[in-house]
Amino acid sequence: MSRKYAIIGVGHVGAAIAFSLVIQGFADELILIDKNEKKARAEQLDLQDATARLSSRPKIKIQDYSELSDTDILFVTAGNIHALDNASGNRWAEFEYTREIVKDIAPKIKASGFNGVLIDTMNPCDAITQYLQKEIGLPGSQVLGTGTFLDTARMQRVVSEKFNVDPKNVSGFVYGEHGESQFVAWSTVGVNGLPIKTLVPKMNLDLDALEDTARSGGWAVHSGKGYTSFAIATCAIKLSRAVLDDAQLMCPCSSYNVKYDSYVGQPGIIGKNGVEELIDIPLPAKEEEKLAASAATIKEKFATM
């Protein structure tokens, strides 16, 4: 089966996704679209030059929305990273810019007849993903955002460093907004199969401090190199592989929550149709309150679109 991907926005994140897809041999066809045609052409040529040293040779095309009609996975990664330069930790700083981008590209995606799975990385991720779903008209299952999948990875790194274990041995989820109102659901977190809350007294852990470190992880990267790219690209590709492999992968992502009438970061099962189902893990009252408050923040901003 041919695997066809498309990327709208080939800046730092889009280019990282494109490179990973090509270098790992995941894509048979790859469509690159960007408002800067010279940039799209440059990325196309650079990737095509690499194929002489690779075992695969994907077809790489640019700037053609009609190619989306039979695309399996569409990544939407456009944005203005410089809007965050003086944002002081506020991902909503990109909102005014990305809102105008999606108002431009959503009708073009819809007109193309795209009927695959759309994965959004744009900030503010949850509100933008919901807007794309509404404007394109695809079922909610087929439109998802990376959301707290990345924030959960950052939590896993921070906790793994404290316990000196592999990050993959840290389970659990970050819920809510891909932003400041997100929270680590410590009731779900475990280390090597043991609930972290049973380990707190032994390790003299400050969970609030760990959470602050995880939440600020993206800003630590941004302040050092001016953008984030590798981790978010890896998360986006992991989601896409779960779709094409029908992996039935349980992971957090931004998807529609009926209870809160909003897209929000929460665990779900990712398979061939996108978000196959949501996993409603019972949370303690305080964590449920945090989720409700975070969803309300997203919903308030979405209403302004």
For the chain of 305 residues, list the mean pLDDT of each consecutive stretch of 10.
Answer: 94 98 98 98 98 96 98 94 60 80 96 98 95 96 98 98 97 96 98 95 91 93 93 98 98 97 98 98 98 96 84
**CB-CB contact of 118 with 6 (8 Å):** no
Own/partner contacts of 166-170, CB < 8 Å, gap of 24 or more, are: none
Specify whether 178 is catalytic: yes
- Residue 22 identity: V
What pLDDT score was predicted for residue 3? Answer: 97
Q: Annotation-wise, does 34 bind a ligand?
A: yes
How far are the Cα atoms of 88, 145, 208 from residue 235, in angstroms, in the given order? 24, 10, 25
Known binder of ligand: residue 184?
no
CA dist 10 and 63 (Å) reads 11
The helix/strand/coil state of 176 is strand
Q: Could you tell me if 295 and 176 are in contact, meaning their C-beta atoms sit under 8 angstroms apart?
A: yes
14 is in an annotated binding site: yes
HSE-CB at 97 with a 13 A cutoff on CA atoms is 15
pLDDT given for residue 301 in this prediction:
86
- pLDDT in the model for residue 93: 73
Residue 76 identity (one-letter amino acid): V
Which tokens in the block code for residue 112?
């193309």
Residue 202 confidence (pLDDT)? 83
Tell whether residue 222 is among the known ligand binding residues. Answer: no
C-alpha of 209 from chain center: 24
Where are the domains positioned within the chain? 4-145, 148-303
Q: What is the pLDDT of residue 204?
A: 86
Tell me: is residue 221 an annotated ligand-binding position: no
Annotated catalytic residue: which of 4, 99, 154, 178? 178
At residue 69, what is the residue type?
S
Q: What is the pLDDT of residue 257?
A: 96
pLDDT score at 276: 98
Question: Residue 158: what residue type?
Answer: V
Q: Write down the architecture of domain 4-145 according to CATH.
A: 3-Layer(aba) Sandwich (3.40)
**Where in 140-261 does DSSP place strands (E)?**
143-145, 170-175, 183-191, 194-195, 249-257
Q: In CATH terms, is domain 148-303 a member of 3.90.110.10?
A: yes
